[in-house]
Chains A and B, each alone.
Chain A
């Protein structure tokens, strides 16, 4: 075998994307390097304005890189228009064609390629069945609910069997229950089809629960690229520690060390009163939030406010003096900001 299928679906090399005219330009994507494997569920996670959506749009061909190279399955695609790229996109606003019915929307990719009508209808119908919308073919997008539109957008993007599917915050407009259902369905669909999914989201829970790997974006750069577990357990920077799972970031001088440290709220135990000792801090209980299975405590230590999660409801009152305690192994030293 000399010419095996490339294992890398998408490769970004030193990609830069700037908007605006020089004095007022903004660098939306700043020297990003990224390699996404074929068949992977890959998420781009970050707050709004972090460059994750621009990055997806660069892969889709809706933006041109100012510098750098984008390859799809080993071939340079940096200058290819979207219609020459072998990938499809589920847009944030779904972008369904309002003047076409559901069947015409789903069959659009086949129609523009000149697939005969009977074949087109057959494949579009099959796709609608796959997203559980059998019988909705004759409706216009305006007659559908948000969740149904989302499924139509998915069916439309998958009908031509792309090797890569880009999803731009596809669940953002759905309510919580529907979103959780769709997360499970999307993950199952991706496993079943074996397609590379590139998923943009600002919801860290969504990214962690669905992805094989996650790239955390901040200010146009990737702060960390890791598996969800590694991201959660070993955040490399303060930003990742705070954004993924809202860890406490403790300045070293508070605990007699140098640098910054991350400490997960659920890795902190609470003791009554002020107790001195190693891996302990004393503080004042500011607030108690009952969250159902867990209770969150806000504690002021010096000038810092730390949070801790407790599985049993504590007996302390607000304003009480308490002590926080943790295992040495729970403490993660963070890298200096880039």
Chain B
């Protein structure tokens, strides 16, 4: 017979006590992050959203702390507000589609045609832009896209200036120069968010066993059929994850629309000015509710369509 091991120190006894109580141990371990997420993050978010049910007294400019739907009503009835939501929305969708279309081939190349150090270099190249300040890159793009900028100069040198003018002549997307058009804003958005689309797609492609693609070909599927029937369905979770990034980042951004592109507010700018200069926190809160609801709906639809079944 051996006597049970005794631990002298307090720590030893505490560990012994916890050993038989895994749930208690887990709670103690998670209490700090749970408090952080619960109170500081979710709590303040909910508090902010709650503000959208308050309103601003037009006369005094003070917040009236009575629950009302008038602020939300204001959001969806004033035509200029609807314009802002619509503009932001369309831009987010177009940017997300373009990012997905550009990112997929890059991610495909990285996942299937590079390995070891070459793969590491490619990942580094994708991440490299994120090392420098986002503001610097956006202002750099303003210069690149300007009337006297590199793109304009380059096209001039090639004698293709007519093509640029032709594109800028289109209504809505065009303008006097790339840097003051929605087309230019779109280019900057796509550039800035592209890494957030490439990496999730690449990760999901890496997880597709090569033998599945070979099996598909073996069973008689032409490359296009293998792509649509096997590869794409299995990478949908990655595309969904990437599109959540690009979509929500575009929905909430307030820097790029301010620096590049045609005049006309985006949701992010509205939140910024309403809570700042205008002091209308209820309307700012109402505006910030829009992306949250939209992303929520997007996730629900994606789940419904089976986007996450292969996870």
Contact = CB atoms under 8 A, between A and B. Distances in A.
A142 B3 CA distance: 47
Contact of B215 (A61, A91, A113, A160): A91
B214 interface: yes
Interface in A29-81: 60-62, 81
A291 interface: no
A61 B213 CA distance: 13
Given A108-B219, A112-B221, A160-B220, A62 B214 contact: yes
Interface in B202-247: 209, 211-212, 214-222, 225, 229-230, 233-234
A64 to B, nearest CB: 13
Given A83-B220, A83-B222, A98 B310 contact: yes
B211 A99 contact: no
Pick from B209, B221, B233, B234 the residue with the most CB of A within 10 Å: B221
Contact-residue size bin, chain B (C-beta under 8 Å from the other chain)? 10 to 19
A271 B158 CA distance: 96
A82 B214 contact: yes
A294 interface: no
A250 interface: no
B57 interface: no
A178 interface: no
Given A97-B230, A99-B310, A88 B218 contact: yes
A198 to B, nearest CB: 13
Contacts of A160: 219-220
B219 A91 contact: no
B156 to A, nearest CB: 43
A82 B218 contact: yes
Contacts of A62: 214, 218
A93 B220 contact: no
A12 to B, nearest CB: 19
A96 B218 CA distance: 12
B217 to A, nearest CB: 4
Would you call the interface of chain A mostly helix, strand, loop, or mixed? loop
A156 interface: yes
A61 B234 CA distance: 23
B212 to A, nearest CB: 5
A187 B233 CA distance: 36
Contacts of A81: 217
Contact of A97 (B212, B218, B222, B309): B212
A95 interface: yes
A91 B211 contact: yes
B61 to A, nearest CB: 56
A98 B214 contact: no
A62, A88, A95 — which one has the most chain B CB atoms within 10 A of its CB? A95
A95 B209 contact: yes
B234 A98 contact: yes
A154 to B, nearest CB: 13
Interface in B276-292: none
Interface string A96-133: 11110000000011011100000000000000000000
Select the residue from B217, B218, B230 with max chain A CB neighbours within 10 A: B218
Contacts of A98: 234, 310
B225 A112 contact: yes
Nearest to A140: B309
Interface string A133-170: 00000000000000000000000110010000000000
A112 B211 contact: no
A196 interface: no
Interface of B: 209, 211-212, 214-222, 225, 229-230, 233-234, 309-310
18 contacts: A81-B217, A82-B214, A82-B218, A83-B219, A87-B218, A88-B219, A91-B211, A93-B209, A95-B209, A95-B211, A95-B215, A97-B216, A99-B234, A99-B309, A108-B221, A112-B219, A113-B220, A160-B220
